[in-house]
Amino acid sequence: MAKVILGLSGALTHDPSAALYIDDTLVAAAEEERFIRDKHAKNRMPLKATKFCLEYAGLQPRDIDIVAFPYAEIDLNRPDRWHYAKRHWYAPDRALTALFNGNRRYQRNVSNVREMLQQLGINWQTISFLPVEHHLAHASSAYHLSGFKGKTAILGIDGKGEYATTFFGYGENGKIHKIKEFYDPDSLGGLYGAMTEYLGFEMLDGEFKVMGMAPYGDPNKYDFSRLAKFENGELIVNTELVNTVGWRRYKENGKGYYFSKKLIDWLGPKRQGDDADEPYIDYAACIQRLFEKISLEMIDYYLKDILEETGQLCFAGGSALNVKLNQYILDLPYVKELFVQPAASDAGTALGAAAYAAHLAGIEVEPLKHVYLGPKYSVEDCIAACEAHPEQPAWEKIDNVPQTVAKILADGHPVAWFQGRMEFGPRALGCRSILGCPSVSGVADRINEQIKYRERWRPFCPSVLDTVAEDLLQTRHPAPYMTFTFKVNPAWKERIPEVIHEDGTSRAQVVNKETNPRYYALIKELEKLTGNGAVLNTSLNRRGEPMVCSPQDALNMFYGSDLPYLVMEDLLVRKPGN
């Protein structure tokens, strides 16, 4: 009898998602934000994402055997709550709550899960409910899906889970062993988030913007070492400046921030507006450098021995999406292969909790093959969406989609590209994408300014054919998920300038024919026309919106921007005049 395991996330009131395993096979996974059109879906549970998973798998609510959730009780005899209370001495309400009612959020989470399952018709009495510690879920999402054999180092860095912020461990024969954890407020992810707020962005989203801004600045211009240090195996964040709570928080227009007024006194006023200007570009460079420095020191201290033995490292947690850090981790002499779980932030803990539940049930889950795990739509669905849309789109059915779209791209036009199953995780990987020809001057600026309405200095990434990847990226390391930056071969910089960042790197996706045949065929056709086996690829959404999910979402995005062409499966939709 097949074992059906449902993993849910949303434990920390953001990024709820659902993932479904049938025995060892990951059948479906999706984020709630895509269905309800609310970025990060804060304070929601993954109701619609779970409905999708069940419907896609053809299952009934009664078929679920195990529900796994990435949040667990933390006993008072462990160091987690005591560390939190000690470090939050200046906010006695927080400290005392941690000691005397430290599992209140766990209890609230269980109540929310029970309520959602009831809405779905899943009987709490007949399922096994498995709470998994948050960082253990991150660790499982990386290790159990990596496909690595033998002893494997495991790293987890994010804001916080229950109390833990950072995880070091290793996996062997399917079992995860914990070496060391750090606890709130000593959090590198929290520090980066606090500086993200200071630099004028929102936490959860803006960290990518800080990383994109950093190459424009000078990381040596200011000394940020007072913010945090790693000494004698311990991480200590300066809560006089960042990772603050209560009265220490800086407040502006009634909103409290994760940094203090002392930070303002030191660095000047919080950044406003969209420009990347001094001194803020230098601050971005400095915080990125500090984040990299301490992360690498921690890896060296806790994981070097294991890595010198095997060279295999798995990485998850929100900070695993810092692709510049990942580039430097790969450069470490004792790291041979790095697997970054592509939905590394909290959305991916649904995967991790489910994979961990499978492990406990004696099931070895299969390695992650791809992240095309969301809904797909037929040509008939796309036609129906066009006919129902108030703009009454002019559409035509085309026979050779890759060839037709490659010609439009080579002529200098951006194209919205909607096909196949929606991606799981934050990256568009050729199913819900805006595409451009990376050799056409100005196409990146046009997409930033007229289509995505985002900051003009934000970089774009290439999707590249596996046949040119080694020459372009100067490495054979696998890169299917846009989780690393690579130094681009100088010979390619003039060929595809629209996808090369200020520092000469690219966050590339290497595409192979097996996992996304139509996207591969498109890039191949573009190569015939331009000589370059690469396409500019960014997510199909506007600033502040989730990636599109359905044909209706794609049409709304199309008519809410200056996109000239939209391809949905075999349909080409164009605006008048194109």
Residue positions annotated with a catalytic role: 14
User: Distance between CA atoms of 65 and 4, rounded to whole angstroms?
Assistant: 5
Give the β-pairing of 312-316 and 337-340: parallel
H-helix or E-strand containing 535? strand 534-539
Task: Report the first-to-last Cα separation within the chain, whole angstroms.
Answer: 55
Residue 369 CB-half CA count within 13 A:
13
CA angle 68, 69, 72 (to 5 degrees): 120
Burial class (CB in 10 A: 0-12, 13-18, 19+), 75: exposed
CA-CA-CA-CA torsion for 204, 112, 135, 3, nearest 10 degrees?
A: -120
Q: Which residues contact 559 (CB under 8 A, 6 or more apart)?
A: 389, 391
CA torsion sign, 67 to 72 to 73 to 77?
A: positive
Collapsed DSSP state (helix, strand, coil) of residue 128: strand
Q: Which amino acid is at 575?
A: K
Q: What region, left, alpha or beta, does residue 187 occupy, with left being phi > 0 and alpha being psi -120 to 50 degrees?
A: beta
Give the β-pairing of 25-31 and 17-22: antiparallel
